[in-house]
Structure 1
Amino acid sequence: MTVLPRAVLSRDYKMRVPYELKRGQSRLFHELPSGLNMEVIFQKGVNKTDPDERREGSQNPPLVFIHGSFHAAWCWAEHWLPFFSHHGYDCYALSLLGQGESDAPGGSVAGSLLTHAGNVADFIGKEIRIPPILLGHSFGGLIVQYYVANIRNEQLSETESFHPDLAGAVLVCSVPPSGNSGLVWRYIFSKPIAAFKVTRSLAAKAFQTSLPLCKETFFSAAMENHLVLRYQKLMTESSRMPLFDLRKLNASLPVPSVPKSSVKVLVLGANDDFIVDAKGLSETGQFYGVPPVCLEGVAHDMMLDCSWEKGAQVIISWLSNLNREQTL
């Protein structure tokens, strides 16, 4: 990865409201085979000296975070990168092409499931030494699902399209394997007012200009307005082009099925999620053969919400159990 000096980067921000990194974080750039650069916010895991927290000879898998629409690497850097690095995990938050400080490809959209997952695979294959945990939020969760479906395994022939191995995957308020069309239709018939709000907020991007609508779409009612306003500005600047062509995306779904034992998956949702409903969360859990975890008092942007620690604690507990299983 290429480390760009801060003085240079400050003259060449792609976001007009740049995200200021926290202590211990670095902004790096990974060059893809296309020649385009992908932003990476990195925070190294803190070494644990307590024998109860760090077993001799053990090594925590790195965590690689993938954001959804209207977000970028900064959404993980706010709370979760400091939290997980404090628990001894090296953390890498990626900005997909056309988002955050990453370069934009030619065309009208940032990419497809194939290209986004391929860019993530290129980063992992070249920059990560051991199989990482891949974490995806919202549409980023769908990219993680596609990645998992294309991991190389012993039953498949050697092909470049297969992605490097993972130690596990976490789907955070993820779009289900069938896509978002089912969510939309359920909202239209069961919650028409909510359907109108979601469409206005996301499709028409009204969340960018309406603070109440931004808050209702992404955050809990208890979220302080000054924080919502800050994140609203960052989200508005994060996505210079749509993450997907939704028509082409839905035509390519559902994602391919995978053997249940191939990758350990945590499916994590929020009871106050205004975008992904309970049925969507259940669909994702059934697809991977695991019971989904649904948190009370948390909204769609779990990693930024005022209750962000609830999701982080569930994930760190799951990671600890996963590490324990792999060392037995």
Structure 2
Amino acid sequence: MAAILCFPSFSLCRTSTSAQRIPLKPIAALSSSGYKMGVSYLLKQGQTRLFHELPSGLKMEVITQKAKTPIEDEREKGQRPPLVFIHGSFHAAWCWAEHWLPFFSNHGFDCYALSLLAQGESDSPADKVAGTLQTHAADIAHFLKTEVTSPTVLLGHSFGGLIVQYYIASIRNKDIVGKNSHPELAGGALVCSVPPSGNSGLVWRYLFSKPIAAFKVTRSLAAKAFQTDLPLCKETFFSAEMEDHLLQWYQELMKESSRLPLFDLRKLNASLPVPSVPESSIQVLVVGAKDDFIVDAEGLNETGRFYGVSPVCVAGVAHDMMLDCSWEKGANVILSWLNTL
């Protein structure tokens, strides 16, 4: 019963004064026939689409936007770490490029949004799933080691947040990865993140306390009904105020974003919870949405307890906080936290 109702892998401190570089080289614009997604996301002014080659030879899409605001004071510049954004299921790098990359670059941060393997314009492995917590975290680590020289803030949404949690655990736990495999971070922000124990707790709470909602979420995500049912797509990811033309556009992008599931959920749940980390080993922000249809309040609080922090719950936004009508509310919460690092 539990396996049938399991949600899919939905897109459910330290500063440095060292110079930041981007050795990535942009490639020529893809032709319409060269896109992996059936619909193409056109980048905004100041954004570049690049491809980072992993040790496997597979290439990972990266949308970048450099800091727009010039910073003359070198000390102040050193206090602005690069930001690397990790999406959840049915999303890709484009979901950050829409609003948050322009917002944070305008506040002086170099921004990188990654598309995990088999998502967006990234290559796909020869498998039935895109990867595991371990492989996704390793891909992020390789990108950071080779393309970013100063400690980064990782920001993960939904199941991307769970990947960030595993990455954080990997830095401190040498039983997980070899020494120095995962570069140090300046911080981690978990946005509407799946909690450390995974989504099974969410499933059972919804099943017993909100059976209708449990049915809707399972239909929307497990059966991928959000791809064809516009009202259900809105209820799952967005606020009721979302305009229909934007909703239809995001629905199309989400429908095309994931060629393979991020995880094998049965294997994933068997490997959870993520390993614990020493208190105060890294600064973590836990932020959720008051109107989140996927990650409930207890899931948000569980993540906060795990890291010993008080979670911030933003009113007036839904699960896709970075795309929703009031996207700037969550962005401002994160900006305020970044200014404390």
1:23 matched residue in structure 2: 45
* TM-score (norm: length of structure 2): 0.90
Deviation at 1:261, TM superposition (A): 1.1
User: Aligned partners of 1:255 and 1:110: how far apart in 2?
Assistant: 19
User: Which of these residues, 142, 147, 161, is aligned with residue 141 of structure 1?
Assistant: 161
User: Aligned partners of 2:132 and 2:176: how far apart in 1?
Assistant: 24
Q: Does 1:211 align with 2:234?
A: no
Deviation at 1:118, TM superposition (A): 0.5
Kindly provide the amino acid, as one letter, of the partner of residue 72 in structure 1: A
Would the aligned equivalents of 2:43 and 2:97 in 1 still touch at CA under 8 Å?
Answer: yes
User: Which of these residues, 197, 218, 221, is aligned with residue 178 of structure 1?
Assistant: 197
Report the CA distance shift for 1:161/1:58 in structure 2 as closer, same or farther (over 3 A). Answer: closer
1:124 matched residue in structure 2: 144
Q: Which has the higher contact order (CA 8 A, sep 6+)?
A: 2
Kindly provide the amino acid, as one letter, of the partner of residue 333 in structure 2: V
Would the aligned equivalents of 1:152 and 1:164 in 2 still touch at CA under 8 Å?
Answer: no
Deviation at 1:100, TM superposition (A): 0.1
Q: Does 1:194 align with 2:217?
A: no
Would the aligned equivalents of 2:170 and 2:176 in 1 still touch at CA under 8 Å?
Answer: no
1:304 matched residue in structure 2: 323
Q: Does 1:94 align with 2:81?
A: no
Q: Does 1:105 align with 2:125?
A: yes
1:242 matched residue in structure 2: 261
Deviation at 1:160, TM superposition (A): 4.9
1:82 matched residue in structure 2: 102
1:319 matched residue in structure 2: 338
User: Aligned partners of 2:77 and 2:325: how far apart in 1?
Assistant: 36
Kindly provide the amino acid, as one letter, of the partner of residue 86 in structure 2: I
Mark the runs of 5 or more structure 2 residues left unpaired by the alignment: 1-23
* TM-score (norm: length of structure 1): 0.93
* 2:125 match: secondary structure: coil
* 1:150 match: secondary structure: helix
Report the CA distance shift for 1:106/1:124 in structure 2 as closer, same or farther (over 3 A). Answer: same
Taking every aligned residue pair, what percent have the same amino acid on both sides?
Answer: 73
Kindly provide the amino acid, as one letter, of the partner of residue 4 in structure 1: I
1:326 matched residue in structure 2: none
Mark the runs of 5 or more structure 1 residues left unpaired by the alignment: 323-328
User: Aligned partners of 1:57 and 1:182: how far apart in 2?
Assistant: 42
Kindly provide the amino acid, as one letter, of the partner of residue 27 in structure 2: L
Would the aligned equivalents of 2:145 and 2:183 in 1 still touch at CA under 8 Å?
Answer: yes
User: Aligned partners of 2:130 and 2:196: how far apart in 1?
Assistant: 20
User: Aligned partners of 1:9 and 1:255: how far apart in 2?
Assistant: 41
User: Aligned partners of 2:172 and 2:310: how far apart in 1?
Assistant: 25
User: Aligned partners of 1:249 and 1:161: how far apart in 2?
Assistant: 24
Report the CA distance shift for 1:293/1:57 in structure 2 as closer, same or farther (over 3 A). Answer: closer
User: Aligned partners of 1:215 and 1:243: how far apart in 2?
Assistant: 22
Q: Could you report, residue by residue, the CA deviation over 1:70-96 in whole angstroms, capped at 9, with x for unpaired residues?
A: 000000000000000000000000000
Q: Does 1:5 align with 2:28?
A: yes
* 1:48 match: secondary structure: coil
2:64 matched residue in structure 1: 42
Would the aligned equivalents of 1:152 and 1:162 in 2 still touch at CA under 8 Å?
Answer: no
User: Aligned partners of 1:75 and 1:157: how far apart in 2?
Assistant: 30
Q: Could you report, residue by residue, the CA deviation over 1:83-121 in whole angstroms, capped at 9, with x for unpaired residues?
A: 000000000000000000000001100000000010001
User: Which of these residues, 49, 65, 82, is aligned with residue 85 of structure 2?
Assistant: 65
Report the CA distance shift for 1:128/1:212 in structure 2 as closer, same or farther (over 3 A). Answer: same
2:17 matched residue in structure 1: none
* 1:151 match: secondary structure: helix
Would the aligned equivalents of 2:170 and 2:177 in 1 still touch at CA under 8 Å?
Answer: no
1:230 matched residue in structure 2: 249
The count of residues paired between Structure 1 and Structure 2 equals: 318
User: Aligned partners of 2:34 and 2:94: how far apart in 1?
Assistant: 17
User: Which of these residues, 287, 310, 315, is aligned with residue 268 of structure 1?
Assistant: 287
Kindly provide the amino acid, as one letter, of the partner of residue 306 in structure 1: C
Would the aligned equivalents of 2:71 and 2:77 in 1 still touch at CA under 8 Å?
Answer: no
Report the CA distance shift for 1:321/1:217 in structure 2 as closer, same or farther (over 3 A). Answer: same
1:325 matched residue in structure 2: none
Would the aligned equivalents of 1:273 and 1:300 in 2 still touch at CA under 8 Å?
Answer: yes
